[in-house]
Copies of this chain bind each other. A is one copy, B any other.
Amino acid sequence: MDAQPVAQPRLGLLLARHGQFVSIQIRKAMADTGLTPRHREVLVELSDRGATSQQALLETLSVDPSVLVGILNDLERQGLAERRRDPADRRRHIVEMSADGCEVLRRIEDAVSQAEAQLFADLDTDERDLLHTLLNRVCLVPEEEACTETF
């Protein structure tokens, strides 16, 4: 008389598990660049916005300032981005990605694409779009609590 279990694993748990798995795969895919999804996100942001204040990056990424410092140190050490003082306000740093950074970002995106190709090999284009739109309708939780986004 018991209601039969909804399905094998609960939908939420399934999503959590597979999400973590995908996360790991993507991390591996970009491993040889020495960078992580975090670095990628900063690069993407820099690519989209061009030269930006470090402060502005902080807001959109919503990470601790000290974390961003670390990321930028990494990028700068590899010559992928550059920090320079804002002449208008010498407290600020203006961050800009280099040509190498642009190139590396392209490589990262390719690696991610390749990983995705494997992960979603069994889905055709329509199904991928479907999955995409379904996912986008999740997580619209009432309170927009700070979601520590690693990605």
Docked-complex contact B120 and A18, CB < 8 angstroms: no
- A12-B112, A26-B12, A37-B13 are known contacts. Are A134 and B141 too (CB-CB below 8 A)? no
Determine how many copies of this chain the complex contains: 2
Picked from B7, B17, B24, the residue with its CB within 8 Å of the CB of A151 is B17
A129: Cβ under 8 A from any B Cβ? yes
A15: Cβ under 8 A from any B Cβ? yes
Residue of B nearest to A123 (CB): B137
CA distance A20 to B122 in the complex (A): 23
Q: How far is the CB of A29 from the nearest CB of chain B, in Å?
A: 9
* Residues of chain A having any CB pair with chain B under 8 Å: 6-8, 10-26, 37, 112-113, 115-116, 118-123, 127-132, 134-142, 147-151
